[in-house]
Amino acid sequence: MPFRAFASVSAAALLVGLASPAAAQDRAPAADPAFDLGRIVVTGRRPEGLEITPQTLSAEAIRTFNRNTLDAAADLIPGVAASNSGGSRNERLIYVRGFDRFQVPLGIDGVRVYLPADNRLDYGRFLTPDVAEVQVSKGYASVLDGPGAMGGAINLVTRTPSQPMEGELRATLSLDGDADYAGQTVFALAGTRQETWYAQASWAQTYVDHWNLSEDYSPPPGSPEDGGERGFSGARDARLNLKAGITPNATDEYSLSYTRQEGSKNAPLHVGDPAALQRNWTWPFWDIDSLYFLSRTQVTDAALLKTRIYRNTFDNLLSAYDDATQSSQTRGRAFNSWYADKAWGGSGQLDLALSGADALSLAAHYRADEHVEYQQGFPSGATEPEQTNREDTWSLAAENRLDVSPALRLTAGVSYDWRDLKRAEEYGTPPGGGAPALFSYPIADAHAWNGQARLDWTGAGDAQAHAAVSSRARFPTIFERFSSRFGGAVSNPDLKAERATQVEVGGARRFGALRAEGAVFYAALDDVIVAYPFIYTDCSSGTCVANPVTQSRNAGQGETYGAELSVTARLNDALTLGGNYAWTKRQVDDPSAPAFEPTGVPEHQAFLYSEWTPLPRLTVTPGLDLASERYTVTTSGAAYYKTGGYALASLSIEYDIDERFSVGAGARNLFDANYTLTDGFPEAGRSLFLTLRARR
């Protein structure tokens, strides 16, 4: 990949720097490594060390549990479940209290990553070694952070330098259950913080040669998968992050960042479907980059201005082949499909201290998305003309924070979002009939109101309680409004936004060495988008033909409710215990599919761990992932059933050679459990890893 040369030079230079003596002034206590300008509004406590809070996951926890992709890392947080889309796309998914990738925006340093065509983000493409923390808003996501957060928000906060000279190098060797080479992960960082400026460069790469299925996996008759190394499970991802900032005084900061993410992946086949139903898809490139400017200016003693300005791109190629050899494209099922997306926009937020107890924040967001797609079909080899979609999204928000008393704070917010569709093109048979041509869909705009309120109480002895209500909407994607689903659907430009109205009550308290925090929640879902079947009569040819098709409509409704609990206990200087549990119950009524069940999320999920230091430089960290079964659906969509229950043990052992160097080893799915999260796609069996870490 293009990053390899950069990586070799950077890693070599960093090793020299790490091995050289450090100056005395370089040994000051490390400050918060998270990029504060890149945080979103999350109400909760930040974790300490390995601790996992309901809202935030630290870099220490990500590294210790060897969770190198976003889906695996976020799965540690209570109320967040990782899954697999299955099918020909085989993408890694994240659900937040049952809400999916369409309803929970993803950001990097507060800048949204959005694919306007269908927003089918693959969370397995997002690496975590260079992330300082993962923030998750659940239910109540502040209107100040922008539109679309119907079910919450996820934000990756990058690192920022905290010392005059600092660097880190990490290397992880991945082995399969047979101790054969399975891949590697490398991370390098170098940075400096001076009195009035800072600069940093980081690079991360993960290469997956393959992963193994459990030895207990038994292939069904005629399966394309015979066990052992999972076919087509390879992937390669890399991310470069460059950051420079100016801090002219104690309050102001101006930062320019560039992030380049490159990926390529294959897609394992369904283990039970016949060859005729398999889609042999691969992604030669899946690339994102982002250039963004973030700032904070103390305009007056009572006014603080924050800004974000960005330009993002997304380039993607999906190639489909004749068969599983992936060697030819001659049949009608083969194609090459390109996406080329651009987005530019920004936001401004003005925080006003109206009095010592009253504060008002005003925010404005603007984003312009341009999606370009075209496809090469076979056996002709002809390539379609480019089809362009252009859309602007706006949001105006206000939030007031009032300290009713020293122990009680009331926060209330409101926002108005609107979407302005300027261009929507497609290539194919026009609605009026005729030869394939480039045509435009009807243009329709949309708008939505959002409102929320939260009451926070702080008592003695670290006791806290809160109650919140929030009603948020999210606009449908271009795919939901206009996709023909290979001729099986008709467009609906007037499709409205989905909405979730949520209520939450929670609290936290310390009981000596033990700290507990939890919440109960309920969400009502309205105007849920479903693929509604009907008979479409086409008379464009002069003869009327009745065609069974689907159309995206706001015909569904439902509810989600549950509870979460997190507990941490520091028993002594050598032993800490922790764990969390989530109960999530979902019901969605789809009038077009009476048998429909929400998929991907277990009703019960837990993570238990301990951190034990039997010797001063030795740390042993066992963990246990637990989950009940979850609904999945067959390839045809004809049958829903439950699968995916598991108990997965993990172990991490790390030894500090000295203050700068450490080595480690560990395992995931230690007892090689055989389990499946989605129909036809068994998950990885036992895997092992060896780590080396050097830091300054």
> Is the separation of the CB atoms in 448 and 476 below 8 Å?
no
DSSP 52: B
User: What is the spatial distance between Cα 519 and Cα 502, in angstroms, rounded to a whole number?
Assistant: 13
> 661 exposed, middle or buried (CB, 10 Å; 0-12, 13-18, 19+)?
middle
Residue with tokens 């800072």: 198
Q: How far is CA 134 from CA 147, 287, 578, 610, 625, in A?
A: 20, 21, 18, 21, 19
Residue with tokens 């300005």: 309
User: What is the spatial distance between Cα 201 and Cα 11, in angstroms, rounded to a whole number?
Assistant: 11
User: What is the spatial distance between Cα 675 and Cα 48, in angstroms, rounded to a whole number?
Assistant: 33
Residues 499-520 pLDDT 10s: 999 999 999 999 999 999 999 9
pLDDT tier at 593, thresholds 50, 70, 90: confident
662-685: average pLDDT: 97
DSSP 86: -
pLDDT of residue 23 exceeding 50, the answer is no
- Taking alpha carbons only, the member of 369, 292, 340 closest to residue 111 is 292
User: What is the spatial distance between Cα 421 and Cα 478, in angstroms, rounded to a whole number?
Assistant: 10
Query: Residue 540: its pLDDT value, please?
Result: 62
More confidently predicted of 429 and 350: 350
What backbone phi and psi angles, to 5 degrees, belong to 60?
-65, -45
Q: How many other C-beta atoms can be found within 10 angstroms of the C-beta atom of residue 65?
A: 24
pLDDT tier at 6, thresholds 50, 70, 90: very low
Through-space distance between the first and last CA atoms of the chain, rounded to whole angstroms: 28
CA 268 to chain CA centroid, nearest Å = 21
> Is the separation of the CB atoms in 454 and 466 below 8 Å?
yes
pLDDT tier at 21, thresholds 50, 70, 90: very low
Helix (H, G, I), strand (E, B) or coil at 269: coil
User: What is the spatial distance between Cα 331 and Cα 447, in angstroms, rounded to a whole number?
Assistant: 44
Domains of the chain: 3-695 (2.40.170.20)
Mean pLDDT of the chain: 92
- Enumerate the β-bridge partners of residue 528: 556
634-658: average pLDDT: 94
Lowest mean pLDDT of 13-27, 152-166, 518-532, name the range: 13-27
Residues written for the chain: 696
DSSP 165: S
pTM listed for this prediction: 0.94
DSSP 497: P
Q: How many other C-beta atoms can be found within 10 angstroms of the C-beta atom of residue 627?
A: 23
Residues 264-282 pLDDT 10s: 999 999 999 998 889 999 9
DSSP tally for the chain: helices H, then strands E: 4, 34
